[in-house]
C-alpha cells in the first residue's frame, strides 16, 4: 500500500467516525488506519519536541478522570473523549504530517458542505430527520443552528477548521475562495460560534500586521484578546443568558 493510500484510508476512516459515530466497527477501522501511518521513532521524537503539549494532555486526562470518578461517566462520554485523546496522543507519531493534513482536507470540506447545507435548510424553514433546531436562548435573536451533527459547537469547530484549510490554499480561484469564505463566516454566525470569529479576528490581526514576528507582540495580542473577551462578557451578562452563566461560574470559583 502506497503512502498516499495509507493516509487516504486514515482520512476516510476518520470521516466515517464523524458520520456513523464511535461504534466498535468505525473505531476499530480508525484504530487500524492509525497504525498504518505512525512510527515509534516519530512518536518518541514528538514527545521530546512537545513537552508542554504532553503536559496539557496528561493534566486534561487527570482532571477528566477526577470529575468522572466524582460524577460518574456515561458510555458516550468514554467513547467521545477516548477518540479525542487517542487522536491527540497517536498523531504525535504520524510520519508525514503534511500528507496527512492534505488528505484530510477533502473530507473536512465534505463535512462542512453537509453542515452548512443542513443549517441552510433550517434557515429556510425545512425540518430534517438527522438534527433538530433548538429553541432560541434568552437574550439572543436567533437559535444556534446545530448543523448535520445536531451540535452547534461541532458546527462551529468544523467550519473553523474548513476556514483554516481554505485560507491555506495557494492554487484556488478567487471567486471560489471568497464564496467559500463567505459561506464559512455565515455558518459560524448561524451556529452562534462567535468564539471562533474572535479567534479568527485575532489570527487575522496577527497575520496581516506581522505580529507573529515578535514573541512579545504575540503575547500582548493574546493577553489583550483575553481582556476584551472578559470585559465583553461582563458587559453583556444581563442581556445574554450564556454570558450570565459564564460570569456566574467565574465569580463562583473566585470566591472559592
CB atoms under 10 Å from CB of 14, counted, come to 21
37, 41, 47, 49: CA torsion to nearest 10: -100
Cβ proximity of 177 and 171 under 8 Å = no
Per-residue model confidence as pLDDT tens digits over 69-102: 776 667 666 666 777 777 778 778 888 888 888 8
pTM: 0.79
Q: What is the pLDDT of residue 49?
A: 80
Cβ contacts of 147 within 8 Å, gap of 6 or more: 114, 115, 116, 118, 119, 131, 154, 155, 158, 187, 191
C-alpha cell at 247: 460570569
* Average predicted confidence (pLDDT) for the chain: 82
Q: What is the pLDDT of residue 197?
A: 77
Does the CA dihedral 89-91-14-150 come out positive or negative?
positive
C-alpha cell at 14: 476518520
Q: What is the pLDDT of residue 112?
A: 94
Per-residue model confidence as pLDDT tens digits over 135-151: 777 666 777 888 888 88
Amino acid at each position: 500500500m502506497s503512502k498516499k493510500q495509507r493516509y487516504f484510508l486514515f482520512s476516510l476512516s476518520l470521516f466515517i467516525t464523524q458520520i456513523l459515530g464511535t461504534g466498535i466497527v468505525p473505531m476499530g477501522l480508525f484504530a487500524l488506519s492509525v497504525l498504518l501511518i505512525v512510527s515509534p521513532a516519530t512518536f518518541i521524537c514528538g514527545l521530546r519536541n512537545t513537552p508542554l503539549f504532553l503536559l496539557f494532555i496528561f493534566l486534561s486526562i487527570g482532571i477528566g478522570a477526577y470529575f468522572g470518578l466524582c460524577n460518574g461517566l456515561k458510555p458516550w462520554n468514554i467513547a467521545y473523549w477516548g477518540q479525542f485523546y487517542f487522536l491527540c496522543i497517536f498523531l504525535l507519531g504520524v510520519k508525514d504530517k503534511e500528507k496527512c493534513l492534505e488528505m484530510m482536507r477533502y473530507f473536512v470540506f465534505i463535512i462542512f458542505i453537509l453542515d452548512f447545507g443542513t443549517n441552510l435548510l433550517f434557515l429556510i424553514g425545512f425540518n430534517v430527520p438527522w438534527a433538530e433546531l433548538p429553541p432560541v436562548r434568552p437574550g439572543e435573536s436567533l437559535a444556534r443552528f446545530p448543523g448535520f451533527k445536531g451540535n452547534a459547537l461541532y458546527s462551529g469547530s468544523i467550519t473553523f477548521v474548513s476556514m483554516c484549510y481554505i485560507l491555506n490554499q495557494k492554487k484556488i480561484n478567487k471567486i471560489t475562495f471568497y464564496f467559500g469564505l463567505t459561506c464559512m463566516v455565515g455558518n459560524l454566525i448561524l451556529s452562534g460560534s462567535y468564539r471562533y470569529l474572535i479567534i479568527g479576528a485575532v489570527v487575522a490581526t496577527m497575520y496581516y500586521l506581522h505580529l507573529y514576528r515578535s514573541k512579545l507582540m504575540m503575547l500582548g495580542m493574546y493577553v489583550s484578546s483575553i481582556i476584551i473577551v472578559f470585559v465583553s462578557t461582563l458587559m453583556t451578562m444581563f442581556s445574554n443568558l450564556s454570558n450570565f452563566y459564564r460570569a456566574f461560574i467565574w465569580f463562583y470559583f473566585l470566591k472559592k
